[in-house]
A and B are shown apart, each in its own frame.
Chain A
């Protein structure tokens, strides 16, 4: 029977979760400022290394980046800009960090998004099969293979694929410079470039979905409601699909959403092996300088993505699983 307080409970639940997310985001903003300033390195010195510069030029750059101000003033500038939605300009590229992140976001989402969706689909399917045919040859083989891929270094697997593909697929990048500018040619070329990085990404991450799905389905296997379902005369296939899998899916939802949050963070290694022009690569390049506005900007965006996805997972969970609502 629906309780009269139920709606209020939901609202309070949402508000608590939302408030938590906002507080976390603020801490990320503060941490982002401190963390990258603790890192060693003088951006001006690193960037001008090997290039003839006068003391005046060094001073001009320090001043332009605001690095000649006290740290407190720098933090204030950073906060004020951030409140206006401005991440500042990259030291290296003299461009707004917001624009750079937007530009790199889509390649990363395309690569990691496609990879994650395929990995989830493959992992859940294999996990379901493996659990249902527990201890069969299929179970042992597929679990073994998944674990083998899971333990492979991404960089190594990527390089092996790159070499083994023998010129069937591009060695890097997202599109060739000489591809005709029309939509179809560009889209096909991007898909062509996408194949190897996606295969690498899927191979390395699908195991976790398979193993979680396998173990949570195994937990459901001896449940009474499955016996009931079989007693009703349902085929084995239907018992699995209609009754066991939906219940076993719950723990995987958390995992999937946690990883969807990471989609934005990209897969730095895969992007590095295949020279994919994404966020991961941009962050990696920025660390060496250190390009503080880029690091702060990506840190906030990546953290925000994880926070939002966790929030969605929390909320979804409440609707998917009545037990959470009852607590």
Chain B
């Protein structure tokens, strides 16, 4: 083969390949999306780094999916925007029977699905009954119906739910209500629902490209009133640095889950507003109190000395959570104050009284260990009751820089009270495996709470422990405390919110006294948006809360485009991105022309050569 022709062949091959493959990837666009393509469309584009596992609310588990579905399908009741207390949504009002086992919900009149059909009590009845009868439909939200006896629509506007035992969390059912007329026709209840989705929330999904984007258009007939923006796009970025770059370029209007560094860099951007929001996550140091299975048999290889509550309390007292938080998060987290429920949920948040507190005090911790008989060896390390030096392993998630930075401080503080700590950074999966099997002494852990703390409270009950095979359960600290479990049952049966809050605080006090975990910090959620595009968003809670990933749809529903000319801003932005496109295309054409020019020139030259 002659190299010259070979070169031309290559160039042709490249172009052919690009042209042949491009059409293969042109997405199948739903007809409704085409119809939306009006010039003055106001679009909120959100850069996200999480994935969508499914858009079927029966099986979707991932954070972004549930967030999108929460916006697509309304609920019986929602967590309010201001203070996150439950309030009516599809159900306008409700009452309970004297035996606390029957809940009667009165449905809102005149609510329509996005396809125009009326939403009645038959839809929630279908939603819950499908979950009660079909195992697959319980995949994502089965925990909410585990205590249900029956669900019936007694008339189009009355829904009656009977429970086996009293259940105080009935106003916090995180179950999207699906349209019976769509889902009853699906062959596989675990399959993907047909596009566009039929919804009852402020926005409806019209297009989904895995790992690329999810497009939602405004539900103009939404019962609370039409949203102020026409479309919400969730655009997927594999790395958050790229999503920050996209915000600066104006390709997206809102980004979340920023790191402190990214957040600080964006402080200098003139067109960006920052939102440093209190979040619903707690980060803890778990102290293995002697892991056992659900049937009470010991598992794992935790240091047996940690079974002594006096030792665990001394460890808790030796850790300076304020300094730790300052070192690893700066101003972007609240230091652990002993409360198991994160401070953002102000109703349920609890702090220990001074007499009960074992907050940072190394002198007191040392004195307590001396009193409990942990004598120091010749090297300064204390000995346990069997005479062995106190050596503890501390597991850290190797992917989390905050833990890598923080662990040496914890090691230092524990060394000050005569305990030797070895830091073991492991992958997330490895840590989950080790902690589920009770193979740790100390480990970093953390959970996100819902506005109803029932789920995180249940993590500390005896039944959260795994079975002998290490399966089942959602073990965290392996605590099994009868007094705590009794209180757990009590709060679940207490329908008076104030009284229930009081019981939940007692539970946190009990957990604190057992010192099976140390609350380290509650990290903030860092978000940023383009102020040239959007004037404001509705945060939850208000003030100080997040815009994205709320326990509700307030953030996107309450988005207000900048100024009166939200539309004109949007179109100017469109022309901005078009400029980029045009420049890019011109660049491409110039390159192709140059290549063609070179090829032609060479060809002429070689023809001239031949003539010689």
A interface list, Cβ under 8 A from B: 39-42, 45-62, 64, 92-95, 100, 103-104, 106-107, 109-110, 113-114, 117-118, 120-121, 125, 128, 159, 162-163, 166-178, 180-181, 183, 186-192, 194-195, 235, 237-238, 241-242, 245-246, 271-275, 277, 281-282, 285, 288, 290
Which B residues are CB-close (under 8 A) to A242? 2-3
**18 further A-B pairs in the complex, CB-CB below 8 A; given A92-B51, A117-B13, A187-B23:** A39-B429, A41-B429, A47-B61, A54-B143, A110-B18, A128-B3, A162-B245, A170-B246, A171-B245, A172-B242, A181-B26, A181-B29, A195-B588, A235-B609, A242-B2, A271-B238, A273-B238, A275-B242
Which A residues are CB-close (under 8 A) to B249? 166-167, 171
The listed residue (B10, B45, B215, B581) touching A189 by CB distance below 8 A is B581
Task: Name 14 interchain pairs, CB-CB below 8 A, sorted by A.
Answer: A46-B428, A55-B472, A64-B139, A114-B18, A121-B10, A128-B3, A171-B249, A176-B251, A176-B577, A187-B23, A187-B26, A188-B581, A275-B242, A285-B51
Interface string of B5-39 (1 = CB under 8 A from A): 00100110110011101111111010001100100
Determine the distance from Cα of A100 to Cα of B580 in the docked complex, in whole angstroms. Answer: 31
Interface pair B427/A110, CB less than 8 Å apart = no
The listed residue (A94, A195, A272, A290) touching B584 by CB distance below 8 A is A195
Determine the distance from Cα of A171 to Cα of B580 in the docked complex, in whole angstroms. Answer: 11
- Within 369-394 of B, Cβ neighbours of A (below 8 Å) are at none
Q: How far is the CB of B440 from chain A (nearest CB, A)?
A: 14
Q: What total of A-B pairs shows CB separation below 8 Å? A: 239
Determine the distance from Cα of A302 to Cα of B13 in the docked complex, in whole angstroms. Answer: 23
Determine the distance from Cα of A171 to Cα of B18 in the docked complex, in whole angstroms. Answer: 20
Interface pair A192/B584, CB less than 8 Å apart = yes
Q: How far is the CB of A173 from chain B (nearest CB, A)?
A: 6
The answer to whether the Cβ of B181 comes within 8 Å of any Cβ in the partner chain is: no
Which B residues are CB-close (under 8 A) to A61? 139
The listed residue (A59, A167, A245) touching B472 by CB distance below 8 A is A59
The listed residue (A103, A121, A175, A277) touching B11 by CB distance below 8 A is A121
Which B residues are CB-close (under 8 A) to A194? 18
Interface pair A192/B447, CB less than 8 Å apart = no
The listed residue (B17, B191, B237, B581) touching A113 by CB distance below 8 A is B17
Interface pair B471/A172, CB less than 8 Å apart = no
The answer to whether the Cβ of B264 comes within 8 Å of any Cβ in the partner chain is: no
Determine the distance from Cα of A41 to Cα of B434 in the docked complex, in whole angstroms. Answer: 10
Known A-B contacts A58-B472, A117-B17, A195-B587; A173 and B237 likewise in contact (beta carbons under 8 Å): yes
Nearest to A90 among chain B residues (CB) is B53
Which A residues are CB-close (under 8 A) to B143? 52-54, 57
Interface pair B428/A288, CB less than 8 Å apart = yes
Interface pair A168/B584, CB less than 8 Å apart = yes
Which B residues are CB-close (under 8 A) to A189? 581
The answer to whether the Cβ of B432 comes within 8 Å of any Cβ in the partner chain is: yes
Which B residues are CB-close (under 8 A) to A125? 7
Nearest to B14 among chain A residues (CB) is A117
Known A-B contacts A45-B436, A163-B245, A183-B26; A177 and B215 likewise in contact (beta carbons under 8 Å): yes
The listed residue (B4, B139, B191, B585) touching A191 by CB distance below 8 A is B585
Nearest to B20 among chain A residues (CB) is A110
The listed residue (A57, A163, A181) touching B138 by CB distance below 8 A is A57
Interface pair A277/B24, CB less than 8 Å apart = no
Interface pair A177/B450, CB less than 8 Å apart = no
Known A-B contacts A50-B448, A189-B581; A290 and B429 likewise in contact (beta carbons under 8 Å): yes
Which A residues are CB-close (under 8 A) to B62? 47, 92
Which B residues are CB-close (under 8 A) to A181? 26-27, 29, 33-34
Determine the distance from Cα of A100 to Cα of B1 in the docked complex, in whole angstroms. Answer: 39
The listed residue (A46, A94, A191) touching B429 by CB distance below 8 A is A46
Identify the 6 closest CB pairs spanning chains A and B, nearest first.
Answer: A41-B429, A167-B249, A171-B246, A181-B29, A52-B455, A187-B22
Determine the distance from Cα of A174 to Cα of B21 in the docked complex, in whole angstroms. Answer: 13
The answer to whether the Cβ of B474 comes within 8 Å of any Cβ in the partner chain is: yes
Which B residues are CB-close (under 8 A) to A49? 432
Interface pair B212/A94, CB less than 8 Å apart = no
Determine the distance from Cα of A62 to Cα of B13 in the docked complex, in whole angstroms. Answer: 48
Interface pair B54/A93, CB less than 8 Å apart = yes
Determine the distance from Cα of A58 to Cα of B436 in the docked complex, in whole angstroms. Answer: 14
Determine the distance from Cα of A51 to Cα of B606 in the docked complex, in whole angstroms. Answer: 69
Which B residues are CB-close (under 8 A) to A59? 471-472
Q: Is the interface of A mostly helix, strand, loop or mixed?
A: helix
Determine the distance from Cα of A61 to Cα of B142 in the docked complex, in whole angstroms. Answer: 12
Nearest to B458 among chain A residues (CB) is A52
Determine the distance from Cα of A190 to Cα of B139 in the docked complex, in whole angstroms. Answer: 37
The answer to whether the Cβ of B367 comes within 8 Å of any Cβ in the partner chain is: no
Which A residues are CB-close (under 8 A) to B45? 177
Determine the distance from Cα of A55 to Cα of B465 in the docked complex, in whole angstroms. Answer: 10
Interface pair B239/A273, CB less than 8 Å apart = yes
Nearest to B17 among chain A residues (CB) is A113
Determine the distance from Cα of A217 to Cα of B472 in the docked complex, in whole angstroms. Answer: 64
The listed residue (A42, A94, A235) touching B436 by CB distance below 8 A is A42
The answer to whether the Cβ of B59 comes within 8 Å of any Cβ in the partner chain is: yes
Q: How far is the CB of B577 from chain A (nearest CB, A)?
A: 7
Determine the distance from Cα of A128 to Cα of B136 in the docked complex, in whole angstroms. Answer: 62
The listed residue (A103, A121, A275) touching B236 by CB distance below 8 A is A275
Q: Which of B111-119, B203-211, B301-309 contacts A (4 or more CB under 8 A)?
A: B203-211
Nearest to B19 among chain A residues (CB) is A187
Q: How far is the CB of B539 from chain A (nearest CB, A)?
A: 21
Interface pair A171/B237, CB less than 8 Å apart = yes
The listed residue (A50, A235, A246, A282) touching B211 by CB distance below 8 A is A282
Determine the distance from Cα of A60 to Cα of B11 in the docked complex, in whole angstroms. Answer: 54
The answer to whether the Cβ of B235 comes within 8 Å of any Cβ in the partner chain is: yes
Which A residues are CB-close (under 8 A) to B18? 110, 114, 191, 194
Which A residues are CB-close (under 8 A) to B43? 178
Which B residues are CB-close (under 8 A) to A45? 432, 436
Residue from the set B2, B45, B61, B144 with the largest chain A CB neighbour count within 10 Å: B61
Interface string of B151-192 (1 = CB under 8 A from A): 000000000000000000000001000000000000000111
Residue from the set A162, A170, A189 with the largest chain B CB neighbour count within 10 Å: A170
Known A-B contacts A177-B233, A195-B587, A282-B211; A50 and B242 likewise in contact (beta carbons under 8 Å): no
Interface string of B432-464 (1 = CB under 8 A from A): 110010000000000110100001001000010
Which A residues are CB-close (under 8 A) to B105? none
Determine the distance from Cα of A117 to Cα of B559 in the docked complex, in whole angstroms. Answer: 46
Interface pair B25/A174, CB less than 8 Å apart = yes
Q: How far is the CB of A10 from chain B (nearest CB, A)?
A: 21
Determine the distance from Cα of A180 to Cα of B528 in the docked complex, in whole angstroms. Answer: 28
Interface pair B61/A48, CB less than 8 Å apart = yes
The answer to whether the Cβ of B590 comes within 8 Å of any Cβ in the partner chain is: no
Q: How far is the CB of A56 from chain B (nearest CB, A)?
A: 6
Which B residues are CB-close (under 8 A) to A94? 53-54, 59, 190-191
Determine the distance from Cα of A187 to Cα of B15 in the docked complex, in whole angstroms. Answer: 12
Q: How far is the CB of B7 from chain A (nearest CB, A)?
A: 7
Interface pair B609/A53, CB less than 8 Å apart = no
Nearest to B15 among chain A residues (CB) is A114
Interface pair A41/B211, CB less than 8 Å apart = no
Q: How far is the CB of B336 from chain A (nearest CB, A)?
A: 19
Nearest to B241 among chain A residues (CB) is A159
Which A residues are CB-close (under 8 A) to B40? none
Interface pair A117/B10, CB less than 8 Å apart = yes
Nearest to A245 among chain B residues (CB) is B3
Known A-B contacts A49-B432, A121-B10, A181-B33; A167 and B580 likewise in contact (beta carbons under 8 Å): yes
